[in-house]
Structure 1
């Protein structure tokens, strides 16, 4: 239960704008969803600034995509955009995660450190977080492909309902696995020889990847 609570807190901290948008869009419509998202982002940004909490790259990415594609939803009357906006959003997010895997610190490692995790400074742990960031990218690409398949093969309303359910459930599972199974995933990657061999015994791996 504590790990599930931690997963919920992490989801709200990093995906809060998107969660607010989805919840309002499904219940009261796109315009209130955009307004609610903007209010959430402004309020959360003020709270982060006052408390000194960092604006992680993941949070900034989610906030930007929520506003950009929410605005597209608001002004678009094209059936094409209604069909493919979710797929385009996921492709854009996947590409951002691919970019976030590169550089000195992968985006998932940044989030983990912001949560207070102790991350050993080693090639092995850095490679693990880079790999897991790419796994997140692959998740968004697969979800985008599924959304395209859905709108090609199902009636519009059914496809939109299905993508709402699949998108919410799959994202929730990814978050729970990331928060609760990080240590097991680390050792699994080590056994599968997916990580560089440490020159000396490394410090204990993180208890979670986010």
Structure 2
């Protein structure tokens, strides 16, 4: 493969300072709505980056499940690798790669657990199979085979065959409170538009970054 020859130009849109709202959440909601309406695959998928005790970054895809002025919420196993790393260092980064729209959003901030009722309300809204999977999977830990995983899944299905499936005490949400949000819009000749919002005591400051 001649990787150095794979390229394309970015001509879909531009981003101007005069068109940006003072609040980055408003701009993010606008772009997210456009990504959903464009029927992109998994428009709420975001890369979550955490760091271990040795300073080694780790990334994985999680799904955005709630957004408001307080931050962005995703759900996971509290005993997973990502959760253990967040417990040691709550500073994280999120990345939304909306390639088809020639857009990216990078978010830096701190993650903390949401309240129990918030986790319960979301867990109760999930399909039953997803609820069972949360019980069945010891996320991030070694497992001998897929057959062992499925055996645990069916064991949970039998265990909770009557009544509602309870919220596991090891499962719930995190809210990422942003301190920096960058909006990237592809531009011709690699002259992309980048605007960075930074949280200050007075609100948000906005500056254009060189591509």
Give TM-score, length-normalised by structure 2: 0.26
Higher Rg of the two aligned structures: 2
Q: Which has the larger helix fraction?
A: 1
Q: Which has the larger strand fraction?
A: 2
Give TM-score, length-normalised by structure 1: 0.26
